[in-house]
Structure 1
Amino acid sequence: MTALPAELPALPSWDTPVVAPSLVLAPGPVPVPIYADEVWSLAPLVANPSAARPGLDWSRFPAPLLPQVQLAAWMMINTPLPASVLVGHPTWHSRLGPAGIHQSVLRWQRFCVWLHRQEGGGLHAVTEEVCISWAGHLARQPGASRGNVTKDLVALTRLWAFDAAGPAPSGMAMPPWHRLGVDGFLPRTPSPRRGENSTEVISPATMGPLLIWALRVVDDFADDILAAWAESRRMADAAVRTPATPDSKARLKSFLQDLIDRGQPVPSRANAGYRHALANTYIAARASCPSTQINNLLRTEPWQHLLAYVDANPGPCPLATPITGRIDGEPWTVFIDFTETRELMRHLGTACFIVLAYLTGMRPAEVLGLQAGCCPEVTSGRHLIYGREFKNAFDEDGNHHSAGRLREVPWVAIPPVVRAIRVLESLVPADGLLFDAAAHTFVDIPTRSTASLRFTGLHSRIEAFAAWASGRARVLGRDGEVVPDDPHGPIGLARFRRTLAWHIARRPGGLVALAIQYGHMRTAVSGGYAARGRDGIHQLLDIETARATADTLTNLHDDLARGVGISGPAARRAIHAAAQAPTFAGSIRTHRQARDILGNPALTVYDNPRSLLMCVYNRERALCHRMDADDAPRLDRCRPSCANIARTDHHAAQLLQHAQALEKQAASETVPGPLADRLARRAVQLRALADRHEHDRIHRQEPTP
């Protein structure tokens, strides 16, 4: 049996703090619970502003087992796992974070409920045979995976270890897998691959409109929304502070009666019932009276008919703030309604998150951990974002550090990101979190908090933002900018980072604004911090670039096998590269595999659908580089005379289609003469390229018998 410390801690009393004072990381509104509490909040252990604050609920544990399990949990919170237990388990941590403690206790709960149903008594009745029965029970559950069963077995090992190291050991037997390993106790079915590299990217059809609207809200609509919010707060304050006098009551009557006499709609708001409700605050501010006088007026006999009139004639609550934001030169809205300002502020904050998460490559927790002042102004060069990382933040003992650590290398910020940060800094207290949970509720009196918005709350806000953006697109007749549902489900938060890498690596054609942003990000990522940053998005970008290369070569290999022709100065190099496609297709999962492919000069083939060609990259022959020393092609700088160009029959067909479209435009009577001439000349050039392909095309050489 593994040896455990001989000196045991003192038995806790009913008023013993659950978390020792030296371990409290986040003193605040949540008090440190005491041992007698039915729920032990772990909030004092959480310093990550976006992390959950879980609690241990003891009400569902069987009574015979509760005292022993509580004592083990108290030990797990306050003491490290004995060093002797860690022998032979190099990946284990001596201390778990709050989430790990919470999950472990939930797994203990399932074990205790199962044990109680077996009439097993307390932990003293847990023998090796009982442990083996528990492992078999877990493995037989529908959908049981090796990963989940492993976590359950390791959790039971921790229960044994902390029980044995505590002040009142129960005599529970050591689980046999701690000595023999867990493989023999796991289900046969392998666990599915999980993690960032297997996360589904957001569909381009969804991500394109979503980013367009996020950028519009941040760049073009933010000033209008902020001005409307300030005006709505001024009006709300006036409705509360204006004293109730006979004159104010007369002004209210005059305001309402004038609307009724002219048959005009009355400012109203949506009501949960069958009728519209008066917009009391807005009306009070407009009539210069306190809002309380409105309800009092409705109780009087002459005005009881007003509710029926409002229900038949509901009206908006337009604010007088000007609309400066434009879409193609036209205002994005006629006015901002008083009743929608809070919703618009939430959408503004959500748009800022989308811009930050997507156009930096930060993980969600890193975005939510940013503070005001994280992106100082610069007079020259790029803006840098100084923040914390949490995923790989460990203390000197190798345990996860809840507060994270400052990144050794800052993130690079392109202009839209800087703008989003400046907008957020205007919403939160100085030096506060950019996504301060209290400030982003947009209550009348925001207060600073130590927590940011939660993942679940932001998930809902993103879905609401997409729905709002789609509504605006339909109102403005821009059906192509409606945000469609993603085929892989909700957008969530974790998918932005992988999607950015996918888009940069794939270089999709289409909207120019998006292509420019991808180009900026490629430059920022590769030239800014990627080569020096630890665990940055550059690794994910390498994987996506390698996958894109593999897909290009696989498609080219299949096309050549079907007899598709290829032309261009780099045609034979492309054929040689495509011949190696079957050796690595579908096998790129790690950064090392990606670097092996990207480091092989014989495989550097990139499709460029925007230029209707394929780049078989050779640094010495490339015309896209002049002064820089980049080791990847600049697909936004393709030159027709470059020696790295190759085209297939598919590219030639696309050249002809594009030429036909240009010729059709040039023939239109609505197109000015000079523009028509340019379009016609471009069509001639494209047809010449297609003809050259037809003349020079070659096929893959048949293998020699």
Structure 2
Amino acid sequence: MDSGDRYLLPLPEPGTPVVQPEFVVAMHAHLNAHYADPAWPLGPLTANPSTSKKVIHWRNCPAVFTDELRLAAWTMINGQLWPTFLQTRGNRLRSRLSASQIHETISAWIRLTIWLETCGIRRLADCTPSVLDGYGQHLLTMHINRNHTHKVLGAVTRLWAFDQLCARPAGIGRPPWDECGADDYLPAATTTGGENETEPLAEQTMGPLLVWAMRMVDDLAEDVLAAWAETQRLAEAARTTTGTSQGKAALEAFLAPLLAAGSPLPASRIRGEVCLATTYLSGITGASRSQIDKLNQREGLAAIAAQRPGPCPLDIPVTGRIDGAAWRKALDFTEAPVLMRHLGTAAFIVCAYLTGMRTGEVLGMRTGCCPNPEPNTDKNTNGNMGRHLIRTYEYKNAVDADGNHQSGGVERDVPWVAITPVVNAVRILERMVPDGSLLFDRRVHDVRYHRAGTGSLKPVAIRHRIEDFVAWANAEAVTHNLPGEAIPADPHGRIGTARFRRSLAWHIARRPNGLVALAIQYGHLRTAVSGGYASRGRGGIHELLDMETVRAVADTVADLHDDLDSGGGVSGPAARRAITAAATAPRFAGTAITIRTAQRLLANEDAMIYDNPHAFLLCHYKREQALCHRDGIKDTVKDTPSLDHCVPGCGNSVRTDQHAAQLRDRADLLDTRARHAPHPIAERLRTNASRLRGYADIHDRTRTTLEGTTR
């Protein structure tokens, strides 16, 4: 190997910083430890606001290996691999890793040394290729998935590589899988894993969840923010007030009629115990805490409040509506922190689901990330405003031109598109945090607890908050007699955060005309979310959309194949083409849908049949015959149909026997509605019903079958 001296680092001293100055992120510089310290925080290596700050605890490493691993770890943190080493291994290794990957790698090294110690090996020099072969075989017995095992093998390879760059190499042997390949040590391949295998959220769960999230942001946010501001004002007044005769008189005047009538007293709950709402009483009356305490001792206020707990209404107007009625008679002092928590969660749900961002990017948004657009100067737009765009930073996959991890993150090459509900959510978040802050700054959103540290809320916290938000929304649905808007449990488990992207792609691909929370169409989202902005940069959603679209097509083709085999018929201009295409069902059935295969299949027009249940037909799309593109505008992501603009009589349309039956069912429903509608509306309903029955009759007269096409 090349012995380029600049890759060889000097031997560190006990007081040498764990992270050298050139790699330290300034905001976390205070976390930097010294080489001899028993714990090494890796926070100085990352500016990612949503990741937890990992720490290497050397007590977890067998003592006989600590010195050797410590030196290799320090070398990896501050050094980089030889270019020649990387070139001979393609894209398998990066020269520098992220903080989380460094933690994962060193943890794998420690697990290796624990195994070595059980084998009677007490120094890395005795860890020969044959010993490492045994370790690889040992990993096979651990029943770990293929991807994780591959990472462990790569970590051991990295230990061997960096050991050669140490000022005092330990002499560990070359892993046999680095020379001969890792397949002999890997479990059998199953699925690709990751978000591509994550189950999308069920429609019956995602729909009402988004309705409540948007309702909180659009309809209730003003009340919540006003309640929080008033709560903060009262709390500050209680903290700073001094005892005066006026305050004492106001307190007694407020409580006297309640005590005389045996009415409930303002109460709050602290650690599960019902208490007198002292802060609230002080804030609204101007009495000091000591004055309230004295009155409590004389009248037994705390005991009365525990027996008869009452509300703490805020003196602010209620403007929000749920189903046309005021959602509260009055907002409560004790409820304001909870509502603020739910408001932040609702904003996260809207942003995460309606943009396609990954969780880390949503949590990394800052104030000003979504400025109002300038008027469009294109002559064809009549000066209309352009789209709102969100600029975010990537951290996990942030690398420079040489593949080295960028600890400070990098701005996405292109921004995400923000439709109106997302813009509304961002604007609400900007009002919740100071200028220049993260939109999900933990210091602001942790309204109940004040924890040390910087950054945003963490994904695990968001998961818990979503569960709490669902419980709150369901309670509100009961209170407002809206059983149809309750959020049912998802059949595949917890909602979490990682499932939003997959759910968005699933709905765009399979529900082209479906409504997203009161009139946002998924078809429009394909243009906005997956268009020429979010899809073109690293980590956009276009690849996930491609895969989900092909999955949907595969299901459609398979269903058509089975229907034709059972004697079903099809009609329409593209009927015979569809029958031929249905023969490709076995091709789909035997294909693992990866990003590469999805792109290849999408390019094959002959194999692609799209389902449009809202138009009661299939689309065997060919660009030159597509009436949905008669304006000449081509899809900016893929040359696929605009199913939300399906036009009757299009040369790509196909109708099945099931569609004909559905048309007649729909016509019957319209006739039923017509019997209970005013005359002009009734006539339109009956006309529409007659038109649908006409489509079904045409299908019956012109349908062809698989047998008919083979004669």
**Range of TM-score over shorter length:** over 0.9
Kindly indicate whether the alpha-carbon contact (under 8 Å) linking 1:147 and 1:191 is maintained by their aligned counterparts in 2.
no
- 2:429 aligned with 1:407: no
* Greater alpha carbon shift after TM alignment, 477-486 vs 580-589: 580-589
Change (3 A) 1:57 1:679: same
- 2:541 aligned with 1:537: yes
The whole-number CA distance in structure 2 between the counterparts of 1:29 and 1:257 is: 57
Q: How does 1:360-375 map to 2 (within 5 A)?
A: 360-375=355-370
* One of 450, 462, 472 as aligned partner of 2:466: 462
How many angstroms does 1:223 deviate by?
A: 1.0
Change (3 A) 1:653 1:74: same
Q: How does 1:127-166 map to 2 (within 5 A)?
A: 127-141=128-142, 143-166=143-166
SS in 2 for 1:75: helix
Cα distance per residue 1:517-557 (max 9 Å; x no partner): 31321221455426754552222222222222222111111
Change (3 A) 1:319 1:586: farther
Cα distance per residue 1:604-626 (max 9 Å; x no partner): 42211112222233333333334
Q: How does 1:216-615 map to 2 (within 5 A)?
A: 216-273=215-272, 276-298=274-296, 300=297, 302-304=298-300, 306-378=301-373, 379=375, 380-442=385-447, 451-507=455-511, 511=515, 513=517, 516-525=520-529, 527-529=531-533, 532-585=536-589, 587=591, 589-615=593-619
Per the alignment, residue 670 of structure 2 pairs with 662
SS in 2 for 1:19: coil
* Greater alpha carbon shift after TM alignment, 110-119 vs 208-217: 110-119
Change (3 A) 1:312 1:19: same
Kindly indicate whether the alpha-carbon contact (under 8 Å) linking 1:414 and 1:520 is maintained by their aligned counterparts in 2.
no
The whole-number CA distance in structure 2 between the counterparts of 1:158 and 1:513 is: 49
Per the alignment, residue 13 of structure 2 pairs with 13
Change (3 A) 1:238 1:57: same
Per the alignment, residue 652 of structure 1 pairs with 660
The whole-number CA distance in structure 1 between the counterparts of 2:177 and 2:2 is: 16
* Greater alpha carbon shift after TM alignment, 203-212 vs 30-39: 30-39
- Amino acid paired to 2:18: V
Kindly indicate whether the alpha-carbon contact (under 8 Å) linking 2:227 and 2:316 is maintained by their aligned counterparts in 1.
yes
Cα distance per residue 1:174-216 (max 9 Å; x no partner): 33333333333x1453354223322221111111111111111
Change (3 A) 1:522 1:128: closer
The whole-number CA distance in structure 1 between the counterparts of 2:148 and 2:449 is: 45
Q: How does 1:110-189 map to 2 (within 5 A)?
A: 110-141=111-142, 143-184=143-184, 186-189=185-188
The whole-number CA distance in structure 1 between the counterparts of 2:163 and 2:25 is: 25
The whole-number CA distance in structure 1 between the counterparts of 2:363 and 2:535 is: 25
How many angstroms does 1:702 deviate by?
A: 5.7
- Amino acid paired to 2:180: L
- TM-score by structure 1 length? 0.92
The whole-number CA distance in structure 2 between the counterparts of 1:428 and 1:195 is: 33
SS in 1 for 2:267: strand
The whole-number CA distance in structure 2 between the counterparts of 1:704 and 1:610 is: 31
Change (3 A) 1:124 1:563: same
The CA RMSD measured in Å over matched residues stands at 2.6
Q: Unaligned stretches of 5+ in structure 1?
A: none
| Percentage of pairs with the same residue | 49
Q: Unaligned stretches of 5+ in structure 2?
A: 376-384
Per the alignment, residue 107 of structure 1 pairs with 108
SS in 2 for 1:67: helix
The whole-number CA distance in structure 2 between the counterparts of 1:560 and 1:592 is: 30
Kindly indicate whether the alpha-carbon contact (under 8 Å) linking 2:9 and 2:79 is maintained by their aligned counterparts in 1.
no
The whole-number CA distance in structure 2 between the counterparts of 1:641 and 1:170 is: 75
Kindly indicate whether the alpha-carbon contact (under 8 Å) linking 1:144 and 1:187 is maintained by their aligned counterparts in 2.
no
Kindly indicate whether the alpha-carbon contact (under 8 Å) linking 2:417 and 2:533 is maintained by their aligned counterparts in 1.
yes
How many angstroms does 1:503 deviate by?
A: 0.7
- TM-score by structure 2 length? 0.91
Kindly indicate whether the alpha-carbon contact (under 8 Å) linking 2:220 and 2:320 is maintained by their aligned counterparts in 1.
yes
- Amino acid paired to 2:289: S
How many angstroms does 1:228 deviate by?
A: 0.9
How many angstroms does 1:66 deviate by?
A: 1.4
SS in 2 for 1:426: helix
* Greater alpha carbon shift after TM alignment, 152-161 vs 2-11: 2-11
* Greater alpha carbon shift after TM alignment, 567-576 vs 16-25: 567-576
Cα distance per residue 1:649-691 (max 9 Å; x no partner): 11121122222222222223xx333333333332232223222
The whole-number CA distance in structure 2 between the counterparts of 1:598 and 1:11 is: 55
SS in 2 for 1:267: strand
SS in 2 for 1:492: coil
- 2:207 aligned with 1:203: no
The whole-number CA distance in structure 1 between the counterparts of 2:231 and 2:313 is: 10
Change (3 A) 1:538 1:155: closer
